[in-house]
Structure 1
Amino acid sequence: MWLGGGLLVVLAVGAAGAGYWVLAGVALAAVTAALVTRLPPLGSGQLDRYVGGIVRLAQVVVFALAFGAYVVPAQPAYAAAGLVVLVTVADVAGLRLPATLVRWVTVVLFAAAVVLVVLCVVVAPVTTTSGAGVPNVAAIVVAALVVLPFLLTGSGERRRAVTLGVVAVVVTVVALVQLGPIRLGLAETSFRDLLYAADAGQLQPLLTVIVVLATVPAALTTFTDARERFAPDGRLPGVASGLVAAVAATFVPVYAALVVAGIGAVAELILRARVRRYRDVRE
């Protein structure tokens, strides 16, 4: 679910900088996410909680921006801010999504990814003359950085991490083959162009439904996680966090939100490694 909401915009950002080499960035992030499943969860210290909270709040902004761009393209910023306000109110009111619902949404999104891949495989892509070019190491690292937060899983969930990584790599491949890096990186709503390229423009309304399923539940659960890290027992910090996220969704570009989430995710991994080292020393 979280990966689906991230891929809607992250591939465009990665391709805009790295071109075809965005695939290398996604693969690097996928391998990293699978390897770090051996690390323990974040500790309960203030620094650990705040870093984890910032990462998740940045992800909420990304989900909101994706929602606004795809669902309300006429007023994307206001729609993004509105979604943040909605999930803030829902969280403060105590709304929690049942685990069964989350699983079913995940199944639906996985099925949508399979359908997208099949459509792109069946329809021959438009021939492009541009090659991969010389790899830009910095751009590859940035591409890996922005996709990493949406591939990370809990400790010990290697199978899930590998599955998410495979899905991300396959979707990246078909998007690059069908659109090429230039067209993929031109707009936040590149998946709409991808459907047209796969001769499936009639599925645009269905894509809108998929976007809602990929962003709204993810935004709510991620915001709740962020708020609990900032202040486990307080509602006022939740309202303040929602206000900050709503302002960010209105004025901050998706690239900036992705970079903040990516840098925060790296910091989170460093803190998790520190927890493991501390445990090893104690033992």
Structure 2
Amino acid sequence: MRLGGGLLVVLAVGAAGAGYWVLAGVVLAAVVAAVVSRLPALGDTPLERYVGAFTRLALVVVQAIVFGAYVVPAQPAYAGAGLVLVVAVADLAGLRLPAALTRWLTVVLIAAAVVLIVLCAVVAPVVTSTPIGTPSPAAVVVSALITLPFLLPVAPDRVSLRALTLGGLAVLVTIVALVQLGPDRLGLSATSIRDLLYAADAGQLQPLLTVVVVLATVPATLTTFTDARERYAPERGWESAAGIVLALAAALFASPYAVLVAAGLGTVVELVLRARNRRYRVAHE
């Protein structure tokens, strides 16, 4: 579910910096996600706990920012912070999403992505004069960095297949978005996916997009927050409270770019720690 909300802002931020080469960044992230998908989970050392919690709180803030920007555009920061607060209260109250509901939501979001791809594929794009330009390695790496956290599978089963599926969807959505809007319009604002519907002659689906955004962000925010608290701060009340305050402040004041880069850097550090754990296990077998 993370990918649904993440793509709504990742493509805009990536295109603003890398232009057409955001596609190379998404492909690179998809390849990396597939390669590292079978690494063991983080351990329980203090460093691993803090890195895991930091990364997931950053993802919570990303989902909250997307929710605010798309659902309550008049007051996006307050709406995003409100979602963080509601999710924190719901988690502490013991609310958990049934596994069956999570699976159905994933199916719905995949179907929504497929519909978007088909709509954009059957409508001729407006001719754009934006040149492809010379690739900037730094911009491509940043695009991959901010995309990677949303392509890593959460569930441990069949992770390679999940990573390939998520990566393929992300690449296809990136292609149709670039073809229909071009990098300039795609990177114009954090909510440029709304423009993508208009470009595909599907402006009447804007209310449906709002529903999809809610389905993509609210459950993902809850499950990610719960994962952060239960796995990396169990029975540590002060750490949970500090995480909530940090997430609220970030939702209110941080830019999407800053939060995405923070999530990406946290993910890279987490992967390094997971690779270290794998080498340790191999060495002791």
- What TM-score do you get using the length of structure 2 for normalisation? 0.97
Q: 153, 156, 171: which one pairs with 2:173?
A: 171
* CA shift for structure 1 position 238: 2.5
Q: Taking structure 1 as the reference length, what is the TM-score of the superposition? A: 0.98
The count of aligned residue pairs is 283
Between 47-56 and 227-236, report the one with greater CA deviation: 227-236
Q: CA deviation at 1:6?
A: 0.3
Q: Which residue of 1 aligns with 2:188?
A: 186
Deviates more, 1:39-48 or 1:254-263: 39-48
The answer to whether the 8 Å contact 1:67/1:79 transfers is yes
1:88–1:238 contact (8 Å) kept in structure 2: no
Instruction: Within 5 Å, give how 1:227-266 maps onto structure 2.
Output: 227-266=229-268
Could you tell me which residue of structure 2 aligns to residue 122 of structure 1?
A: 122
Percent identity, please.
70
2:270 to 228, 245, 268: 268
CA contact (8 A) 1:92 1:239 kept: no
Would the aligned equivalents of 1:231 and 1:238 in 2 still touch at CA under 8 Å?
yes
Q: By how many angstroms is 1:226 displaced?
A: 1.1
> Does structure 1 residue 45 correspond to structure 2 residue 45?
yes
- What is residue 135 of structure 1 aligned with on the other side? 135
What residue number does 1:56 align with?
A: 56
Equivalent runs, 1:1-283 vs 2, <5 Å: 1-154=1-154, 155=156, 157-283=159-285
In 2, Cα distance between the equivalents of 1:274 and 1:236? 29
Deviation, 1:231, is 1.5
| Aligned partners of 1:92 and 1:238 also within 8 Å | no
Q: In structure 2, what residue type is equivalent to 1:194?
A: L
Of 176-185 and 236-245, more deviation after overlay is shown by 236-245
Instruction: Name the amino acid aligned to 1:57.
Output: L
> How far does residue 281 in structure 1 lie from its aligned partner after superposition?
1.4
Q: Unaligned 5+ residue runs, structure 1?
A: none
1:236 CA displacement: 4.5
Distance in 1 separating the partners of 2:113 and 2:256: 22
Which residues of structure 2 form unaligned runs of 5+? none
Amino acid of the structure 2 residue aligned with 1:227: R
Aligned-partner residue type, residue 152 of structure 1 = L
Secondary structure of residue in 1 paired with 2:37: helix
Question: Which moves more between the two structures, 18-27 or 224-233?
Answer: 224-233
How far did residue 268 of structure 1 move? 0.5
